[in-house]
A and B are shown apart, each in its own frame.
Chain A
Amino acid sequence: MANTVIGSSIIIDGEITGDEDLVVQGTVKGKIQLKESLYVEASGKVEADIETQNTEVSGEVTGNITASDKVELKTQCRVIGDIKAPRILIADGASFKGNVDMDV
């Protein structure tokens, strides 16, 4: 399994770039730039600007999210920042503060 996982005890302060899916269970501060999907799991904390194809948040994100396809805010998530994507889903129970731009 070559999926990239940032485990729950891991703290990364810097930049993550790549062409594959990224699962964040720990903490990432800085910047995330992916050509694939980002999953911020319930234990995950991201303080970073995010650029991906898809972003799915169940944990915490502070920063702007830009996705070329879809951003999904799951129930129980906490997101502070602006979201820009053609498709945006916000589940019941998600906390979100920021602007939404679907490029209409």
Chain B
Amino acid sequence: MVDSAQSTVVGPSILVNGNLQGDEDLLVLGRVEGSINLTKTINIAESGIVKAEITVRNAVVSGVVVGNITASDSVEITEAGRMVGDIRAPRVIIVDGARFRGAVDMGDMEAPRASAPLPARTTDRPAMAKSVKAAIPASTSKASTPTPPPMAKAVPVAKKPMPPPPPPRKAEPPPRAAEPVAVPVAANKKLKKKVVVKKKPG
């Protein structure tokens, strides 16, 4: 008999359909559908398929995951991993070769914002003075520093809308950018739509 007291394994031919919860590591070689709630690590091996809402401390995805993962520590999608769904975790690692579609939320962070008017020294230049954003008064002093003013704090748990889009284009892009190679900004907006699971053979 098996005496590995503290590790749960779902073997390659096993399907678990329902809610799974516990305080130990879980290795999925087979298939789990439903929901998974662990205080430790879930490891989805290459043969593993998980179609579930996953709440864990750590997740390592080498197999297939369709569903959202909320991890109190980290989520790693390895080279062989494939995932469609959203990830919420302070640490998210996506290795080269991994496939992922969905949103990533690492909680609080400071991302740069479009700057307010440039400092006096540089605004003297005619080209700079034309900036459409010259009217925004706030945070002038920080505009020239590499460290930008902080973004509004995000609540780690709540779903936040995307941050305000970058500054609008001041002019039509030059001819080169208008070629088909370039994808217009409008196409990028599609990214904000909810993830749709598309089946792909193989």
Contacts and interface: CB of A to CB of B under 8 A. Distances in A.
Instruction: Specify whether A and B are partners.
Output: yes
A1 interface: yes
A34 B165 CA distance: 53
The size class of the interface chain A forms with chain B is: 20 to 34
Contact of B26 (A10, A14, A19, A20): A10
Contacts of B5: 7-8, 25
B9 A4 contact: yes
Interface residues of B, number: 27
Counting chain A CB atoms within 10 Å of each CB, the highest count among B2, B6, B17, B23 belongs to B2
A22 B20 contact: no
B22 A15 contact: no
Given A14-B18, A16-B15, A18-B14, A3 B24 contact: no
B14 A3 contact: no
A16 B22 contact: no
Interface of B: 1-2, 4-24, 26, 29-30, 34
Nearest first, the 5 closest Cβ-Cβ pairs linking A and B are: A14-B18, A10-B22, A18-B14, A4-B11, A7-B8
